[in-house]
Amino acid sequence: MKPSVFVGRPVFEEVLDSLRLHFDVVDNQADALFTPAELIAKLQGQAGAITTGTERIDAALLAACPDLKVVANMAVGFNNFDVPAMTAAGVQATNTPDVLTETTADFGFALLMATARRITESEHYVRAGLWKNWRYDMFAGAEVHGSTLGIIGMGRIGQGIARRAAHGFGMQVIYHNRSHLSPELEAQCGARYVSKQELLQTADHVMLVVPYSAESHHTIGAAELALMKPSATLVNIARGGIVDDAALAQALKERRIAGAGLDVYEGEPALNPALLSVPNVVLTPHIASATIKTRKAMAQLAADNLIAYLSQGKALTPLNALVERR
Ligand code: GLV
Protein backbone atom coordinates (compact mmCIF):
# COMPACT_ATOMS: atom_id res chain seq x y z
CA MET A 1 0.00 0.00 0.00
CA LYS A 2 1.27 3.46 -0.89
CA PRO A 3 1.80 5.90 1.98
CA SER A 4 -0.63 8.78 2.06
CA VAL A 5 0.27 12.47 1.99
CA PHE A 6 -1.77 15.60 2.52
CA VAL A 7 -1.37 18.75 0.45
CA GLY A 8 -2.82 21.50 2.62
CA ARG A 9 -3.47 24.20 0.02
CA PRO A 10 -4.18 24.29 -3.73
CA VAL A 11 -1.18 23.53 -5.89
CA PHE A 12 -0.29 22.94 -9.55
CA GLU A 13 -1.94 19.77 -10.97
CA GLU A 14 1.40 18.56 -12.37
CA VAL A 15 2.87 18.67 -8.86
CA LEU A 16 -0.03 16.58 -7.54
CA ASP A 17 0.55 14.14 -10.44
CA SER A 18 4.21 13.74 -9.44
CA LEU A 19 3.11 12.93 -5.88
CA ARG A 20 0.47 10.46 -7.09
CA LEU A 21 3.23 8.31 -8.64
CA HIS A 22 4.43 7.58 -5.10
CA PHE A 23 1.58 8.24 -2.69
CA ASP A 24 -2.14 8.31 -2.13
CA VAL A 25 -2.71 12.04 -2.21
CA VAL A 26 -5.32 13.96 -0.25
CA ASP A 27 -5.43 17.40 -1.81
CA ASN A 28 -7.24 20.63 -1.00
CA GLN A 29 -7.75 22.08 -4.46
CA ALA A 30 -11.01 23.61 -3.19
CA ASP A 31 -8.90 25.68 -0.74
CA ALA A 32 -10.98 24.83 2.32
CA LEU A 33 -9.79 26.69 5.42
CA PHE A 34 -9.05 24.41 8.37
CA THR A 35 -9.07 25.23 12.05
CA PRO A 36 -6.13 23.69 13.97
CA ALA A 37 -8.48 20.85 15.10
CA GLU A 38 -9.65 20.23 11.51
CA LEU A 39 -6.03 20.21 10.31
CA ILE A 40 -5.22 17.57 12.93
CA ALA A 41 -8.20 15.51 11.75
CA LYS A 42 -7.03 15.84 8.12
CA LEU A 43 -3.52 14.70 9.05
CA GLN A 44 -4.64 11.42 10.67
CA GLY A 45 -2.97 8.54 8.83
CA GLN A 46 -0.83 10.90 6.70
CA ALA A 47 2.89 10.15 6.48
CA GLY A 48 3.71 13.50 4.92
CA ALA A 49 2.24 16.93 4.35
CA ILE A 50 2.87 20.01 2.25
CA THR A 51 2.11 23.24 4.04
CA THR A 52 2.41 26.92 3.23
CA GLY A 53 3.30 29.63 5.74
CA THR A 54 -0.28 29.64 7.02
CA GLU A 55 -0.44 26.19 8.66
CA ARG A 56 1.15 26.00 12.11
CA ILE A 57 3.02 22.79 12.92
CA ASP A 58 3.59 22.69 16.68
CA ALA A 59 3.97 20.24 19.55
CA ALA A 60 0.21 19.89 20.10
CA LEU A 61 -0.40 19.01 16.44
CA LEU A 62 2.56 16.61 16.35
CA ALA A 63 1.35 14.80 19.48
CA ALA A 64 -2.04 14.33 17.84
CA CYS A 65 -0.62 13.14 14.48
CA PRO A 66 1.61 10.15 15.31
CA ASP A 67 1.81 8.93 11.71
CA LEU A 68 3.38 12.13 10.41
CA LYS A 69 7.02 11.71 9.34
CA VAL A 70 7.73 14.76 7.19
CA VAL A 71 6.26 18.22 6.63
CA ALA A 72 7.44 20.20 3.61
CA ASN A 73 6.83 23.95 3.76
CA MET A 74 6.27 25.54 0.36
CA ALA A 75 8.18 28.65 1.44
CA VAL A 76 11.72 29.55 2.36
CA GLY A 77 10.55 31.06 5.65
CA PHE A 78 9.41 28.53 8.25
CA ASN A 79 8.26 30.51 11.28
CA ASN A 80 5.01 28.49 11.11
CA PHE A 81 7.08 25.44 12.15
CA ASP A 82 8.20 24.72 15.69
CA VAL A 83 11.37 23.03 14.44
CA PRO A 84 12.65 21.87 17.87
CA ALA A 85 9.23 20.26 18.51
CA MET A 86 9.40 18.58 15.09
CA THR A 87 12.90 17.31 15.84
CA ALA A 88 11.76 16.02 19.24
CA ALA A 89 8.86 14.23 17.57
CA GLY A 90 11.18 12.76 14.90
CA VAL A 91 9.43 14.66 12.12
CA GLN A 92 11.51 15.93 9.22
CA ALA A 93 10.96 19.61 8.37
CA THR A 94 11.88 21.06 4.97
CA ASN A 95 11.57 24.42 3.22
CA THR A 96 12.20 25.73 -0.32
CA PRO A 97 15.45 27.74 -0.37
CA ASP A 98 17.34 28.89 -3.49
CA VAL A 99 14.56 28.35 -6.07
CA LEU A 100 12.95 31.68 -5.12
CA THR A 101 16.02 33.80 -4.40
CA GLU A 102 16.31 35.82 -7.62
CA THR A 103 12.54 36.17 -8.14
CA THR A 104 12.14 37.50 -4.61
CA ALA A 105 15.09 39.85 -5.04
CA ASP A 106 13.43 41.18 -8.23
CA PHE A 107 10.28 41.87 -6.25
CA GLY A 108 12.16 43.61 -3.44
CA PHE A 109 13.59 45.90 -6.05
CA ALA A 110 10.18 46.43 -7.67
CA LEU A 111 8.71 47.44 -4.31
CA LEU A 112 11.65 49.77 -3.68
CA MET A 113 11.14 51.43 -7.07
CA ALA A 114 7.36 51.68 -6.63
CA THR A 115 7.77 53.20 -3.17
CA ALA A 116 10.54 55.66 -3.99
CA ARG A 117 8.88 56.80 -7.22
CA ARG A 118 5.33 56.76 -5.79
CA ILE A 119 4.00 54.57 -8.58
CA THR A 120 0.85 53.17 -6.98
CA GLU A 121 -0.03 56.48 -5.33
CA SER A 122 0.13 58.24 -8.70
CA GLU A 123 -1.79 55.44 -10.40
CA HIS A 124 -4.65 55.85 -7.90
CA TYR A 125 -4.65 59.56 -8.72
CA VAL A 126 -4.95 58.86 -12.44
CA ARG A 127 -7.64 56.19 -11.96
CA ALA A 128 -9.64 58.54 -9.72
CA GLY A 129 -9.79 61.06 -12.60
CA LEU A 130 -7.89 63.67 -10.57
CA TRP A 131 -5.24 64.39 -13.21
CA LYS A 132 -6.26 67.71 -14.74
CA ASN A 133 -2.91 69.39 -15.18
CA TRP A 134 0.81 68.58 -15.24
CA ARG A 135 2.91 70.15 -12.52
CA TYR A 136 6.68 70.22 -12.04
CA ASP A 137 6.46 68.64 -8.58
CA MET A 138 3.70 66.12 -9.24
CA PHE A 139 4.48 62.90 -7.33
CA ALA A 140 8.11 63.89 -7.12
CA GLY A 141 9.75 61.05 -5.24
CA ALA A 142 13.13 59.92 -4.01
CA GLU A 143 16.11 59.11 -6.21
CA VAL A 144 16.94 55.42 -6.47
CA HIS A 145 20.09 55.29 -8.64
CA GLY A 146 23.17 56.56 -6.86
CA SER A 147 21.44 56.61 -3.46
CA THR A 148 22.29 54.55 -0.37
CA LEU A 149 20.47 51.27 0.20
CA GLY A 150 20.58 49.74 3.69
CA ILE A 151 19.76 46.03 3.79
CA ILE A 152 18.90 44.38 7.11
CA GLY A 153 19.32 40.60 6.73
CA MET A 154 22.02 39.64 4.25
CA GLY A 155 21.12 36.06 3.34
CA ARG A 156 20.70 34.87 -0.23
CA ILE A 157 17.83 37.23 -1.04
CA GLY A 158 19.52 40.23 0.59
CA GLN A 159 22.63 39.50 -1.45
CA GLY A 160 20.55 39.32 -4.65
CA ILE A 161 19.07 42.74 -3.89
CA ALA A 162 22.53 44.13 -3.09
CA ARG A 163 23.91 42.95 -6.44
CA ARG A 164 21.02 44.57 -8.32
CA ALA A 165 21.50 47.81 -6.36
CA ALA A 166 25.29 48.06 -6.60
CA HIS A 167 25.81 46.83 -10.14
CA GLY A 168 22.54 47.83 -11.82
CA PHE A 169 21.73 51.13 -10.09
CA GLY A 170 25.11 52.38 -8.88
CA MET A 171 23.85 52.49 -5.31
CA GLN A 172 26.03 52.48 -2.20
CA VAL A 173 24.98 49.35 -0.36
CA ILE A 174 25.35 49.02 3.39
CA TYR A 175 24.07 46.04 5.34
CA HIS A 176 23.48 44.77 8.83
CA ASN A 177 23.29 41.09 9.63
CA ARG A 178 23.96 38.66 12.49
CA SER A 179 27.28 37.79 10.81
CA HIS A 180 29.58 39.56 8.36
CA LEU A 181 29.78 38.26 4.79
CA SER A 182 33.19 37.05 3.65
CA PRO A 183 35.29 39.80 2.01
CA GLU A 184 34.77 38.02 -1.35
CA LEU A 185 30.98 38.03 -0.99
CA GLU A 186 31.02 41.65 0.21
CA ALA A 187 32.95 42.57 -2.94
CA GLN A 188 30.56 40.60 -5.17
CA CYS A 189 27.57 42.32 -3.57
CA GLY A 190 29.27 45.73 -3.47
CA ALA A 191 28.16 45.90 0.17
CA ARG A 192 29.72 47.22 3.39
CA TYR A 193 28.82 46.05 6.93
CA VAL A 194 27.60 48.75 9.33
CA SER A 195 25.83 48.82 12.69
CA LYS A 196 22.04 48.83 12.64
CA GLN A 197 22.07 52.39 13.98
CA GLU A 198 24.40 53.67 11.25
CA LEU A 199 22.33 51.89 8.62
CA LEU A 200 19.09 53.47 9.81
CA GLN A 201 20.65 56.93 10.08
CA THR A 202 22.38 56.95 6.69
CA ALA A 203 20.30 54.85 4.28
CA ASP A 204 18.05 56.58 1.76
CA HIS A 205 16.14 53.32 1.43
CA VAL A 206 15.94 50.53 4.02
CA MET A 207 15.15 46.98 2.87
CA LEU A 208 14.17 44.24 5.34
CA VAL A 209 15.01 40.66 4.40
CA VAL A 210 15.62 39.15 7.82
CA PRO A 211 13.94 35.83 8.84
CA TYR A 212 11.27 36.09 11.53
CA SER A 213 12.13 34.85 15.02
CA ALA A 214 11.56 36.00 18.59
CA GLU A 215 14.83 37.98 18.29
CA SER A 216 13.84 39.71 15.03
CA HIS A 217 10.31 40.60 16.24
CA HIS A 218 9.84 44.37 15.73
CA THR A 219 13.33 44.87 14.30
CA ILE A 220 11.77 48.16 13.17
CA GLY A 221 9.61 49.94 15.72
CA ALA A 222 9.06 53.55 16.77
CA ALA A 223 12.65 53.99 18.02
CA GLU A 224 14.18 52.69 14.77
CA LEU A 225 11.80 54.72 12.59
CA ALA A 226 12.87 57.81 14.55
CA LEU A 227 16.47 57.20 13.49
CA MET A 228 15.62 57.16 9.78
CA LYS A 229 15.90 60.21 7.55
CA PRO A 230 12.56 61.97 6.91
CA SER A 231 13.26 61.48 3.19
CA ALA A 232 13.90 57.73 3.55
CA THR A 233 11.72 54.79 2.50
CA LEU A 234 11.29 51.37 4.11
CA VAL A 235 10.55 48.10 2.30
CA ASN A 236 9.48 44.91 4.12
CA ILE A 237 9.58 41.70 2.07
CA ALA A 238 10.64 39.63 5.10
CA ARG A 239 7.74 38.64 7.38
CA GLY A 240 4.92 40.24 9.25
CA GLY A 241 6.12 41.08 12.76
CA ILE A 242 9.55 42.27 11.66
CA VAL A 243 8.00 45.74 11.58
CA ASP A 244 5.70 47.21 14.22
CA ASP A 245 2.95 48.06 11.72
CA ALA A 246 1.12 50.43 14.08
CA ALA A 247 4.31 52.45 14.67
CA LEU A 248 5.00 52.47 10.94
CA ALA A 249 1.51 53.68 10.03
CA GLN A 250 1.90 56.52 12.55
CA ALA A 251 5.34 57.48 11.16
CA LEU A 252 3.94 57.47 7.61
CA LYS A 253 0.93 59.54 8.65
CA GLU A 254 3.17 62.13 10.28
CA ARG A 255 5.61 61.98 7.32
CA ARG A 256 8.44 61.10 9.71
CA ILE A 257 9.62 58.89 6.83
CA ALA A 258 8.72 59.46 3.19
CA GLY A 259 7.15 56.13 2.32
CA ALA A 260 7.02 52.38 2.75
CA GLY A 261 6.53 49.32 0.56
CA LEU A 262 5.04 46.32 2.33
CA ASP A 263 4.49 42.77 1.11
CA VAL A 264 4.00 41.24 4.56
CA TYR A 265 2.00 42.28 7.63
CA GLU A 266 1.43 41.50 11.27
CA GLY A 267 -1.61 39.20 11.41
CA GLU A 268 -1.93 38.95 7.60
CA PRO A 269 -4.13 38.64 5.63
CA ALA A 270 -5.72 41.16 7.99
CA LEU A 271 -3.98 44.54 7.86
CA ASN A 272 -3.62 47.20 10.48
CA PRO A 273 -6.43 49.53 9.23
CA ALA A 274 -4.19 52.56 9.78
CA LEU A 275 -2.02 51.37 6.89
CA LEU A 276 -5.00 51.57 4.54
CA SER A 277 -5.59 55.22 5.33
CA VAL A 278 -2.11 56.55 4.56
CA PRO A 279 -1.31 57.32 0.92
CA ASN A 280 2.47 56.99 1.11
CA VAL A 281 2.58 53.20 1.36
CA VAL A 282 2.62 50.57 -1.40
CA LEU A 283 0.74 47.44 -0.30
CA THR A 284 1.02 44.00 -1.91
CA PRO A 285 -0.43 40.69 -0.67
CA HIS A 286 2.66 38.59 0.18
CA ILE A 287 3.60 37.90 -3.45
CA ALA A 288 7.37 38.41 -3.52
CA SER A 289 8.05 34.92 -4.91
CA ALA A 290 4.95 34.87 -7.12
CA THR A 291 5.94 34.09 -10.67
CA ILE A 292 4.48 30.94 -12.21
CA LYS A 293 7.95 29.52 -12.82
CA THR A 294 9.13 30.09 -9.25
CA ARG A 295 5.91 28.98 -7.59
CA LYS A 296 6.08 25.76 -9.66
CA ALA A 297 9.69 25.26 -8.61
CA MET A 298 8.75 25.82 -4.93
CA ALA A 299 5.81 23.40 -5.10
CA GLN A 300 7.86 20.78 -6.91
CA LEU A 301 10.70 21.09 -4.41
CA ALA A 302 8.23 20.60 -1.54
CA ALA A 303 6.83 17.52 -3.32
CA ASP A 304 10.32 16.20 -4.06
CA ASN A 305 11.20 16.57 -0.38
CA LEU A 306 8.26 14.29 0.54
CA ILE A 307 9.25 11.80 -2.16
CA ALA A 308 12.95 11.79 -1.20
CA TYR A 309 12.31 11.53 2.53
CA LEU A 310 9.56 8.92 2.43
CA SER A 311 11.27 6.73 -0.18
CA GLN A 312 14.96 7.17 0.68
CA GLY A 313 14.93 8.63 4.19
CA LYS A 314 16.81 11.74 3.07
CA ALA A 315 15.20 15.11 2.39
CA LEU A 316 16.62 17.46 -0.26
CA THR A 317 16.45 20.68 1.77
CA PRO A 318 16.12 19.61 5.42
CA LEU A 319 15.67 22.09 8.26
CA ASN A 320 16.41 19.63 11.04
CA ALA A 321 18.74 16.67 11.49
CA LEU A 322 16.88 13.65 12.79
CA VAL A 323 18.49 10.93 14.77
CA GLU A 324 16.12 8.28 13.56
CA ARG A 325 12.92 8.02 11.55
CA ARG A 326 9.88 7.30 13.57
C1 GLV B 1 7.53 33.46 1.47
O2 GLV B 1 7.25 34.33 2.22
C3 GLV B 1 8.53 32.47 1.75
O4 GLV B 1 8.99 32.38 2.90
O5 GLV B 1 8.88 31.70 0.84
- Judge if the beta carbon of residue 228 lies within 6 A of ligand 1: no
- Judge if the beta carbon of residue 45 lies within 6 A of ligand 1: no
- The answer to whether 4-99+292-312 and 101-283 have equal CATH topology is yes
How do residues 216-248 score in pLDDT, each as one tens digit?
Answer: 999 999 999 999 999 999 999 999 999 999 999
List of residues 6+ apart from 223 with CB closer than 8 A:
none
What are the start-end ranges of the H helices in 49-195? Answer: 59-64, 83-88, 101-116, 119-127, 156-163, 183-189
How do residues 265-305 score in pLDDT, each as one tens digit?
Answer: 999 999 999 999 999 999 999 999 999 999 999 999 999 99
List of residues 6+ apart from 123 with CB closer than 8 A:
none
Instruction: Tell me the average pLDDT across 82-109.
Output: 98
Catalytic residues: 239, 268, 286
3-state secondary structure of 236: strand
Tell me the domain boundaries of the chain: 4-99+292-312, 101-283
**Topology, domain 4-99+292-312:** Rossmann fold (3.40.50)
- Judge if the beta carbon of residue 211 lies within 6 A of ligand 1: no
Res 1 pLDDT > 90: no
Query: What is the CATH code of the structural domain delimited by 101-283?
Result: 3.40.50.720
Between the CA of 272 and the centroid of ligand 1 the distance, in Å, is 21
pTM, two decimals, is 0.96
